[in-house]
Structure 1
Amino acid sequence: MTDDEPTFKALADPTRRFLLDLLFQRDGRTLTELESEVDMSRFGVAKHLRVLEEAGLVVTRRSGREKLHFLNPVPIRLIHDRWIGKYTERRASALADLKHELEAQHMTATDTADRTVQVYRVYIRATAEAIWEAITKPEWAVRFGYRAPVEYELRPGGAFRGLASEEMKAGGAPEVIIDGEVIEADPPRKLVQTWRPLFLGEDYTRLTYEIEDDGSGVCRLTVTHDVTGAPKTAAQVSGAAPDAGGGWSQVLSDLKSLLETGRSLYA
């Protein structure tokens, strides 16, 4: 079975696609909330959600006694980067931009603000140490995603700075475009920090990286971004903003490619 076969199989069912649509509209729903939207038994909905979770398209989190379900768009981004990116990127992007523009006419600020917690997950054939280095070291950060250096003081209370890439500076961007503070640093397993894009004029959000290594040679990287009260930031990191690129999905897809093949997808 290829890496993307579970994704294709999960997306083949219309009920599962509808459940993903519901989570796209508002993330972090319980089984009860999702069941109320589908003409199906609770057991049937749970079974579909389990297939989506096994395919990596849904990530669950516990909040007290509740189990919340989050849409994880990274597997879909990986398919995009494997197939569309090679052959029809320009035409597909034009269609996607048109679709986004038409949908945006029917969206309100509340639609974006409702997605207060975003969860992204990717499996990378690399060591936990390599993934940690790629996230926290400036010499790695310039090789994937937005190619912008980062500076960390990896201790509680330490400073974080996201610097402008050379391309951004050529366009007139200031040296520091994102700032924050380290809350918890447990290399190579967990990094918790605040995160604020200075150009959006919003308050700090909370960003968590979790790296899990089960000894199989493949690590699971989960990025949880709590963007409560910051709708512009929510749109930026999800890729919904017109100038956001692919957001976290694109960044993690590119990181996976770099660590597994030594090459960025967008070089």
Structure 2
Amino acid sequence: MDQVFKALADPTRRLLLDRLREHNGQTLRELCERLGMARQSVTQHLDLLVRADLVVVVRRGRERLHYLNPVPIHEIEERWISGFDKARLHVISAVKNQAEEYAMADKTSSETIPTYVYVTYIRASAQHVWQALTDADLTTRYWGHANVSDWQPGSNWEHRRVDGSGKVDVVGTVVEADPPTRLVITFEDSPDAPREPSVVTFLVEPHHEIVRLTVTHENLPNQAMLNGISSGWPAVLANLKSLLETGEVLPQAPWEMSPAHT
């Protein structure tokens, strides 16, 4: 938490976060151009933001793309705001969000939807995290659905209900599978829609007794899907983390919480 407050104390670093909020997934060159700053100065500020987990770097070929990570800001909100005047702040936030929705409606439909990135740290081995992502029985426990596939590149996968209906809510294809560190899948919640599927990448990076799990969801078709996964992924990954670290999922399904409490 100290590193987060230190990073946020500098106006230049706050400006960097604002630029990433406007357009997520920028290279160092793009950030330098938008800020009119020397490469070395921007690099130093980004290093502090990365150490504070406010920014996540995702490699794409030779490029290093920078994404906002919402987790530390959410933790500040939970610790320093939630216990004080949350009810009034929710009203203010609702008014602000409604105004922004009206503003969004005025923009062109061709506007690019940003990529979603989420990072969490889990006390587990890379092998255990990989198994949790690909084992149908384990996904049933923390996700409420069975993710079914042989997880070979080119194979199909299904996000199948376990309520006896056998209904499949999401389908896709395994694009890459490099156990236990990298899994890339297409993600189609509306397979009949005339659009390219979104793509989810799971990156598992081991470090001694913990792993850093980075989930990147890109090629999103619209703002509605971005809003949905922005609340869905944190809930699912919190349940996964709890299962691997304690042997039990959270007492209540986190995705069932009302919007007023998320």
TM range, smaller chain: 0.7 to 0.9
Residue of structure 2 in register with 1:127 after alignment? 125
C-alpha displacement of 1:211: 0.9
Q: Do residues 58 (structure 1) and 55 (structure 2) align?
A: yes
Unaligned runs of 5+ in 1: none
Residue of structure 2 in register with 1:264 after alignment? 250
Residue of structure 2 in register with 1:16 after alignment? 13
Q: Conserved in 1, the CA contact under 8 Å of 2:240 and 2:249? A: no
Residue of structure 1 in register with 2:199 after alignment? 206
C-alpha displacement of 1:217: 0.5
Q: Any idea what SS the aligned residue of 2:25 has? A: coil
Could you report, residue by residue, the CA deviation over 1:99-134 in whole angstroms, capped at 9, with x for unpaired residues?
33222222236586242x433322211111221222
Alignment of 1:177-188 (within 5 A): 177-188=169-180
TM (norm. structure 2) is 0.77
Between the aligned partners of 2:92 and 2:75, the Cα distance in structure 1 is 18
Higher relative contact order (CA 8 A, sep 6+): 1
Match for residue 212 of structure 2 among 216, 220, 223: 220
Q: Conserved in 2, the CA contact under 8 Å of 1:143 and 1:264? A: no
TM (norm. structure 1) is 0.75
C-alpha displacement of 1:184: 2.5
In structure 2, relative to structure 1, the CA distance for the partners of 1:156 and 1:88 (3 Å cut) is: farther
Code of the aligned partner of 1:124: I
Aligned-pair identity in percent equals: 38
Between the aligned partners of 1:141 and 1:89, the Cα distance in structure 2 is 33
Q: What is the Cα-based RMSD across aligned positions, in Å?
A: 3.3
Q: Any idea what SS the aligned residue of 2:34 has? A: coil
Between the aligned partners of 1:219 and 1:122, the Cα distance in structure 2 is 8
Q: Any idea what SS the aligned residue of 2:151 has? A: coil
Unaligned runs of 5+ in 2: 254-262
Q: Conserved in 2, the CA contact under 8 Å of 1:77 and 1:250? A: no
In structure 2, relative to structure 1, the CA distance for the partners of 1:34 and 1:67 (3 Å cut) is: same
In structure 2, relative to structure 1, the CA distance for the partners of 1:51 and 1:208 (3 Å cut) is: same
Q: Do residues 231 (structure 1) and 221 (structure 2) align?
A: yes
Code of the aligned partner of 1:163: R
Residue of structure 2 in register with 1:29 after alignment? 26
Between the aligned partners of 2:86 and 2:127, the Cα distance in structure 1 is 33
Q: Any idea what SS the aligned residue of 1:68 has? A: strand
Code of the aligned partner of 1:18: L
Code of the aligned partner of 2:56: V
In structure 2, relative to structure 1, the CA distance for the partners of 1:66 and 1:189 (3 Å cut) is: closer
In structure 2, relative to structure 1, the CA distance for the partners of 1:84 and 1:250 (3 Å cut) is: farther
Q: Conserved in 2, the CA contact under 8 Å of 1:74 and 1:252? A: no
Between the aligned partners of 1:250 and 1:164, the Cα distance in structure 2 is 17
